[in-house]
Amino acid sequence: MSAKFRLGAMMFLEYAIWGAWAPVLTAYLQNDLHFTGIQYGFIMSLLPIATIIAPLIGGQLADRYFPTEKVIGVSQLVGGAILLLGAAVASYTAMIWIMLVYCVIYAPTLALTNSIAFINLKDSEKDFGRVRVWGTIGWIAAGWSLTGWRFLAKSAPWISVKGDTLFLAGLFSIVMGVLAFGLPHTPPKKEGAKPWAFLEAAKMLKDRDFLIFTVIAFIVATELQFYYVLTAPFLTSPKIGVASTWLSMVMTIAQVAEIFVMALLLPKVLPKFGIKKTMTLGVLAWPLRYIIFVIGGPAWLVIASLSLHGFCYVFFFTAAYIYVDTIAPADIRASAQSLIAMVILGIGNFVGSNFSGWIQNVFTAGGATNWRNVFWVPTVLTLVCAAAFVLLFKERKAPAPQQG
């Protein structure tokens, strides 16, 4: 099998694992285990917290000690076993420990799957989007698989599993753990390398343009959570009126658009326009979507604007991972990807989740949320980010220098 095929299968399973539990775990914790909002909110914050801490370990192991494919394989096998155990857990305290340990093991693989793909693709600007798109397909497939499983369980109760969302994620994880050992061999860069790879990656922040890029990526990541956290309640509000029965299907408009942009547009736009112009298009798509949310109608326009997520996410965040790969020295690429994953998926998501929830609370009175005021906040902040990116960031291709 070709390297692209194996890397595509890797991305499919990596995001199928995440997509099997992340969108619906809170419903299981609330409706089946009767956890409170504070309790399951804390459990859902464990992955961002783990993404802040764990990549330091994962990037270090892959850059200095073990082949990347083995680090991914062992992590997924152990993580899968933990998820299967978690499917049978009903205690809040036990669930915290299960999910904390699991997230610490899984979080590094989000950066390592990017790293191994970049290293083994001949032309990452053209090919990474076409490989990474399989992750989005995997996320959608996991959701549909869980729906199908639950539908079949109604007529065949013997296949019903308590905690099926975690159980399915565990199965995906074990399959990926086995298949990971067949990924392209990617040994660590030991020759002439300084021992602490993540510290060397952190020194890239001494470069003015990389620092500007990182700060803007962090701010945009916080505004991403206005979409992930608040879009569902906004769509089901009386103003828009999407029925809860159809909500999950309506929300997949964003992922379908993401597939289109990642597979077809990114490979053409990025080589033609470069990193800066591509990412500028991405960051401008954010305030465009949020201003439609501010207008709040007609409902069809709001729903159609979900497709802008493809441009928002792919042209900014996927391009960001490619940018990091182009400037990171070869011996610290995994740690450089871990650094940006920590900023975006860790600190950015954690701060953004809490910030967006706080903003909603500020503009909620008598049980009714003023969505117009809520979405003015990310509209303004993303416009500022777009202006700052255009005025301050300078694209370059040369590897970032290592400083002792």
| pLDDT tens per residue across span 7-48 | 999 999 999 999 888 877 877 887 788 887 678 778 888 888
Q: What is the DSSP string of 88-130?
A: T---HHHHHHHHHHHHHHHHHHHHHHHHHHHHH-S-HHHHHHH
User: Do 196 and 178 belong together in one domain?
Assistant: no
183: left (phi over 0), alpha (psi -120 to 50) or beta: beta
Question: Which tokens belong to 277?
Answer: 């112009």
Which of the pair, 291 or 163, is modelled with greater confidence? Answer: 291
Which of the pair, 306 or 361, is modelled with greater confidence? Answer: 306
* Beta strands in 81-233, from DSSP E residues, in sequence order: none
Residues 175, 10: Cα–Cα separation, whole Å: 10
Q: Which residue among 188, 204, 219 closes a domain?
A: 188
Question: Which tokens belong to 97?
Answer: 């420990």
pLDDT over 90 at 238, yes or no: no
| Phi, psi dihedral angles at 315 (to 5 degrees) | -70, -20
What Rg value do the Cα atoms of the chain yield, rounded?
Answer: 21
**pLDDT value for 326:** 85
Instruction: Please give the share of the chain, as a percent, with pLDDT higher than 70.
Output: 92
129 domain residue, yes or no: yes
Q: Which residue among 169, 188, 207 closes a domain?
A: 188
3 domain residue, yes or no: yes
User: Do 220 and 311 belong together in one domain?
Assistant: yes
User: Do 127 and 151 belong together in one domain?
Assistant: yes
Which of the pair, 182 or 32, is modelled with greater confidence? Answer: 182
Check if the beta carbon of residue 326 is closer than 8 Å to that of residue 275: yes
335 domain residue, yes or no: yes
57 domain residue, yes or no: yes
Give residue-wise pLDDT tens across range 35-83: 876 787 788 888 888 888 876 677 667 667 788 899 999 999 999 999 9
Strand partners, 365: 368
**Amino acid of residue 396:** R
* Bond before 298 cis per omega within 30 degrees: yes
**42 three-class SS:** helix
pLDDT over 50 at 288, yes or no: yes
**369 three-class SS:** strand
2 domain residue, yes or no: yes
Q: What is the CATH number of the domain that holds 77?
A: 1.20.1250.20
Q: Which residue among 135, 160, 188 closes a domain?
A: 188
Residues 104, 98: Cα–Cα separation, whole Å: 10
Give residue-wise pLDDT tens across range 191-212: 545 556 667 777 888 888 889 9
User: Do 348 and 225 belong together in one domain?
Assistant: yes
**pLDDT value for 377:** 95
Residue indicated by tokens 């073990």: 66
User: Do 75 and 212 belong together in one domain?
Assistant: no
User: Do 180 and 197 belong together in one domain?
Assistant: no
User: Do 242 and 161 belong together in one domain?
Assistant: no
Listed in sequence order, the residues at least 6 apart from 251 whose beta carbon sits closer than 8 Å to its beta carbon are 231, 232, 235, 306
User: Do 68 and 100 belong together in one domain?
Assistant: yes
Sorting pLDDT into bands at 50, 70 and 90, what band is 162? Answer: confident
Give residue-wise pLDDT tens across range 294-323: 999 899 999 999 999 889 889 998 888 888
**Amino acid of residue 69:** E
**pLDDT value for 55:** 62
Sorting pLDDT into bands at 50, 70 and 90, what band is 372? Answer: very high
Residues 349, 241: Cα–Cα separation, whole Å: 27
User: Do 109 and 245 belong together in one domain?
Assistant: no
Closest CA to 254 of 6, 7, 23: 23
User: Do 145 and 291 belong together in one domain?
Assistant: no
404 domain residue, yes or no: no
**pLDDT value for 155:** 80
**pLDDT value for 175:** 97
pLDDT over 90 at 168, yes or no: yes
390 domain residue, yes or no: yes
Overall number of domains in the chain: 2
**Domain containing residue 220:** 191-398
pTM across the whole model: 0.75
Q: Diameter of the chain by CA atoms? A: 64
Sorting pLDDT into bands at 50, 70 and 90, what band is 404? Answer: very low
Sorting pLDDT into bands at 50, 70 and 90, what band is 234? Answer: confident
What separation in angstroms does the CA of 20 have from each of 17, 24, 401? Answer: 5, 8, 40
